[in-house]
Amino acid sequence: YNLSPFLWKKIRRGLSAGRVQSVAVKLIVDREREIESFQKEEYWSIEAILQPNNLNDPVNTSLQFSARLYKYNDSLLIDRDSKEGNRFLITNAEFANKIINDIKDKDFFVFKIDKKLKKKSPSPPFITSTLQQEASRRLQFTAKKTMMIAQQLYEGVELGEEGSVGLITYMRTDSFRISPEAQQWARKFIVNRYGKEFVPEKPTHYKSKGSAQEAHEAIRPTYPDKTPEKVKPFLTREQYNLYNLIWNRFIASQMSAAQLEQTTFIIKLKDSGTIIDSTEFRTSGTVIRFPGFMTLYSEVRDEIAEEEGESVLPPLKEDDNLKQIDIKPLQHFTQPPPRYTEATLVKTLEEKEIGRPSTYATILS
């Protein structure tokens, strides 16, 4: 507290050197030092373009898919669990080309097809920190702007003859709690709009963090009849976008889980009819068997998945032979950790329990 008056004298009146602002600055500085000291590593992957090998079929681009070399001579290409630091098997172009020369004349076939049915559950309704993160990612709002617009929606918006109506519950909260009444109207709304199979048997409850004060409910719409489409004529574009986000997230949080089927082709090689067990290609694809809450809402992620994109897979069976269309090396470099965005900084502050929901926007500004 002695530092703030010093900043007023030397830099600018009104600056705060509060304990939470100082920690946020330290997080940003530490991340910058990490980026500056980062040593990038080169590594290579090998990609094969394949298609089902029906001998009479010409090259058919609609049936083609890509598969990555996963294992060579019994060694994994990227060993994520390596403690020694040598995580990458192929570290230069020469070795990548040597592997390609070694395998390009071999016959490819589907060794095994793995199918896993996974359930993906919806995210809980918004609390202050997650609203700021998602509004930053989806709407490019600053935390300050998000809270200002949320305050307007909470205090009340003029809805024609109805007068001023508060459209959302209190926006400074760290609790995922939802009132039973709100759960009931949400379930009724889902059945009417999407069908019975889109609501779980029992209402979904989300557990708040141990440090949550639980003084308020989660952020949710206040009235079932005030759908975003209905109130849109009375809202500014920014108010509508934020209200629509809060509405969709809340309704989705009370919907059934999505069911996804992940299919992985494990592809091996044959040399003169003999299976080469030590080398393996793999590719994965996901089919949505039941969309559930994803009909309405799916989260935007900060992290960009590593370059292992999922292919659209053709219908194949185990032991099917594959035609090799192309095989090529791809160069990559490891990336330093990214600089913070407002969304990722709020997430980090929340994880480290720095500040409270009402302070995130102030800390950032």
Known catalytic residues are 170
DSSP single-letter state for residue 257: P
Q: In angstroms, rounded to a whole number, what is the distance separating the alpha carbons of residues 91 and 70?
A: 15
Q: In angstroms, rounded to a whole number, what is the distance separating the alpha carbons of residues 193 and 171?
A: 27
The closest alpha carbon to 68, from 200, 265, 215, 234, belongs to 265
3-state class (DSSP) for residue 331: strand
Transcribe 158-222 into DSSP letters. Answer: E-GGG-EE--B--SS-------HHHHHHHHHHHHHHH-GGGS-SS----PPPTT----S--B-BS
What interhelical angle do 237-253 and 128-139 show, nearest 10? 120
Q: In angstroms, rounded to a whole number, what is the distance separating the alpha carbons of residues 346 and 357?
A: 10
Transcribe 113-161 into DSSP letters. Answer: EEEEEEEEPPPPPB-HHHHHHHHHHHH---HHHHHHHHHHHHH-EE-GG
The alpha carbon of 200 is separated from its chain's Cα centroid by a whole number of angstroms, namely 23
Q: In angstroms, rounded to a whole number, what is the distance separating the alpha carbons of residues 101 and 176?
A: 57
